[in-house]
Amino acid sequence: MRIIGIIPARYESSRFPGKPLVDIGGKSMIQRVYEQVKGCAGLSEVIVATDDRRIEEHVRSFAGNVIMTASTHQSGTDRCAEVVSKISGFDVAINIQGDEPFISPLQIELLSNLFQDSTTEIGTLVKKIDSTDDLFNHSIPKAIINSKNEALYFSRQTIPFQRDVAQSEWITNYTYFKHIGIYGYRVDILQEITQLPVSSYEKAEGLEQLRWLENGYNIKIAKTEFDTIAVDHPEDIELINRKFFSQ
């Protein structure tokens, strides 16, 4: 089985323009992501997918693989679909967030292993929620999982609701999972799901994976012990530099 790791990278961002090129401890964020992903032995190829020549030139400067894609894509999933339409010979595509400079190769390996089962269409990761702040943070999607480790639903709301239990006790009374935003897709399934129209649940929650569930696709779940450190705002860079690079 041949697996390609794809790192979508946009220059334009309403919250943080130029984010992929920002310096983190002497290297750009996109270079750090690329090097982490290259550490995953299970990938046959790693490619940055961008719509910006500045990012393309920078990736080439550190001898990375990069491909130009359209500027009209609405999501990283759409950008990944364009890559696999241009580069043949892969069975599975892994969509790695371009703003997580310290993603663990072991997370990518864990996700890739879901596709050892030939029936897996789409895969993703979750991690147990350990803090009440995360549990009630609407920016952190929660995953509802069945007994076969398949996704039932994803929500920004804290579900399931615990009747007759004080909210302060929810986290100790039930195991909740946060969604880690890395996806794997069988290549044929990737091409199918990017042709689907926006669904009602997706529109309501702002979560693209609900489109796939609503249209009957199966999402397999693997549980990771590693958390992710995402860069969403410029101030996140200061926090990361203090945590990892301060003397």
pLDDT at 17: 81
pLDDT at 12: 80
Per-residue pLDDT tens digits for 140-178: 999 999 999 999 999 999 999 999 999 999 999 999 999
What secondary structure does DSSP assign to the chain, as a single string?
A: --EEEEEEE-S--SSSTTGGG-EETTEEHHHHHHHHHHT-TT-SEEEEEES-HHHHHHHHHTT--EEE--TT-SSHHHHHHHHHHHS-S-SEEEE--TT-TT--HHHHHHHHHGGGSTT--EEEEEEE---HHHHT-TTS-EEEE-TTSBEEEEESS--S--TTS-GGGHHHHS--EEEEEEEEEEHHHHHHHTTSPPPHHHHHHT-THHHHHHTT--EEEEE-S-------SHHHHHHHHHHHT--
In percent, the amount of the chain with pLDDT more than 70 equals 99
pLDDT at 247: 55
Burial of residue 94 (CB within 10 Å: 0-12, 13-18, 19+) is buried
pLDDT of 241 higher than 90: no
pTM for this structure? 0.94
pLDDT of 39 higher than 70: yes
Q: Please report the domains of the chain, with CATH numbers, ordered by start residue.
A: 1-103+229-247 (3.90.550.10), 123-179+196-227 (no CATH)
pLDDT of 216 higher than 60: yes
pLDDT at 55: 97
Q: Residue 27 corresponds to which amino acid?
A: K
